[in-house]
Homo-oligomer: A and B are copies of this chain.
Amino acid sequence: MNLLSNEDRTSLVRLRDELSKRYDEYCSMNLSLDMTRGKPSAEQLDIANDIYGLVNASDTFSEDRFDCRNYGVPTGLPECKRMFSMITGFDPSLIVIGNNSSLSMMYDTLMRSMVFGEIESDRPWSVENVRKWICPVPGYDRHFAITQNLGFEMIPVPMKKDGPDMDIVEKLLASDPTIKGMWCVPLYSNPDGYIYSETVCIRIASMKAAAKDFRVFWDNSYAVHNLYPDHRQSIPNILSLCREYGYPNRVYAFSSTSKITFAGSGIACLASNEQNITRVSKQLSLRTIGPDKLNQLRHVRYIPNLDALHAIMDQHANILRPKFEAVDSILSEELSGLGIANWHKPLGGYFFSLFLPTGTAKAVVETAKKAGVLLTPAGATFPYGIDPNDSNIRIAPSFPPLTDIVTATKVLCVCAKLIAVEQLLV
């Protein structure tokens, strides 16, 4: 195919008619496909079928003989910290264990900043008249919802293939003391699937911030979520970099087993340097007499070592890979060379991010919906739900069966082309 923009009006009209016909055919199929949900499929959840029986009446004791049924151990079992050390690369002593949701650990960490401030703060963040937050875009809607709810003015910064545009980030941070923090999904970024380069990580760890209590929320949700076991990707140890470059308190890192075992019943963790962790631990021991240690026990028995972890994640990869490759190959087949779309084929994570011509994403999502294909609302990947270019669409291929993904992606492509042609014809 040629670039659509090079086609003459007659060709475009013909193309529109062909696409309309295809679109109508899809409409007549009474489809009801949902591509919005970034959650594992039942088949993936079945991988952990052996986990249930790993804790039972005959052994509820941790390795140091603590009865996990009872109160206690507010920051989590040592063996569970070691498990997360294996997943994240952070020292076990710098890790505290939560319950089932890393998102709630991020929310709680921000609530504590609001009420108590950070170590270097002059006052709680809640009493700052203006507070801002850097949001690499496109990004994760649930991150943005939290900072919006807490009254942060969100500043979008474009994602590049190697991470956020650090020239912009550094410039913003150096001059604006009201910028208190920044969201990061460093490995398989949501939704692009980009991986932060070592250079970007070093720049994050070493950049000057006008706010002395600036914090990076480092959401490493996809730490071991590779689609290609022969090409596992990783990122530098950000806590070590921060220490090395003189900002030891800068980063709160988060991870979880939500997409290793069960999305709803996994274990989450928070990691930071010793000073932050000591402070957090004090608050945690006021908040609770301890997280659910039986579930920790289930997890450490289910994932006793790196071989077990890889065996689990390889099974996930085997289920997810065909779905991701189907999306990529349909996008290539339908959209390549037309000059109306670009995307990055991720090596892991849970999403694709598709960029279409400016001003068409909403119309494409709307048009697909009329054909029975539900896509994540255009704009969802931007702060306040507003994509200034109206061009980005998040594709979530994990949950539906492969056949649905194939059909839904084709519908999406037909809609994308149709809207692009109509835009050219106006």
Contacts and interface: CB of A to CB of B under 8 A. Distances in A.
Interface of A: 37, 39-40, 42, 45-46, 48-49, 52-53, 55-57, 60, 67-73, 99-101, 103-104, 107-108, 111-112, 114-115, 124, 126-127, 142, 145-146, 149-150, 258, 262-265, 283, 286-295
Contacts of A48: 69
A145 B285 CA distance: 10
Nearest to A297: B265
Nearest to A290: B264
Nearest to A68: B264
Given A56-B53, A69-B265, A292 B289 contact: no
Given A69-B263, A149-B283, A264-B293, 18 more contacts: A37-B71, A39-B71, A42-B67, A45-B69, A52-B52, A69-B264, A70-B262, A99-B100, A99-B292, A101-B288, A104-B287, A108-B287, A111-B112, A114-B115, A115-B150, A126-B127, A263-B289, A292-B292
A80 to B, nearest CB: 13
B292 A264 contact: yes
Contact of A289 (B49, B68, B101): B101
A225 to B, nearest CB: 15
A20 to B, nearest CB: 37
B265 A68 contact: yes
Contact of A295 (B101, B115, B265, B293): B265
A57 B46 contact: yes
* 10 interchain residue pairs of minimum CB distance: A49-B57, A104-B288, A265-B294, A101-B288, A107-B287, A69-B262, A99-B99, A52-B56, A45-B69, A71-B263
B55 A286 contact: no
A296 to B, nearest CB: 9
B287 A103 contact: yes
In this complex, which of A70, A72, A263 has the most chain B Cβ atoms within 10 angstroms of its Cβ? A70
Contact of A70 (B39, B114, B127, B291): B39
Contact of A107 (B72, B264, B286): B286
B100 A114 contact: no
A72 B399 CA distance: 14
Contacts of A115: 111, 114-115, 126, 150
A106 to B, nearest CB: 9
A188 B353 CA distance: 56
In this complex, which of A40, A115, A290, A291 has the most chain B Cβ atoms within 10 angstroms of its Cβ? A115
A380 B324 CA distance: 58
A263 to B, nearest CB: 4
11 contacts: A45-B67, A53-B53, A69-B262, A71-B258, A101-B291, A103-B287, A104-B287, A107-B286, A114-B114, A145-B286, A292-B295
A99 B112 CA distance: 19
A290 B102 CA distance: 11
A60 B263 CA distance: 13
A219 to B, nearest CB: 13
A133 to B, nearest CB: 15
Contacts of A40: 70
Contacts of A108: 108, 111, 287
Contacts of A60: 45
In this complex, which of A40, A71, A108, A258 has the most chain B Cβ atoms within 10 angstroms of its Cβ? A71
A185 B251 CA distance: 39
A199 to B, nearest CB: 33
Given A70-B264, A71-B263, A288 B103 contact: yes
Contact of A71 (B67, B264, B287): B264
Contacts of A288: 100-101, 103-104, 107
Contacts of A149: 283, 286
Contact of A262 (B103, B124, B294): B294
Contacts of A295: 265, 292, 295
A8 to B, nearest CB: 49
A141 to B, nearest CB: 11
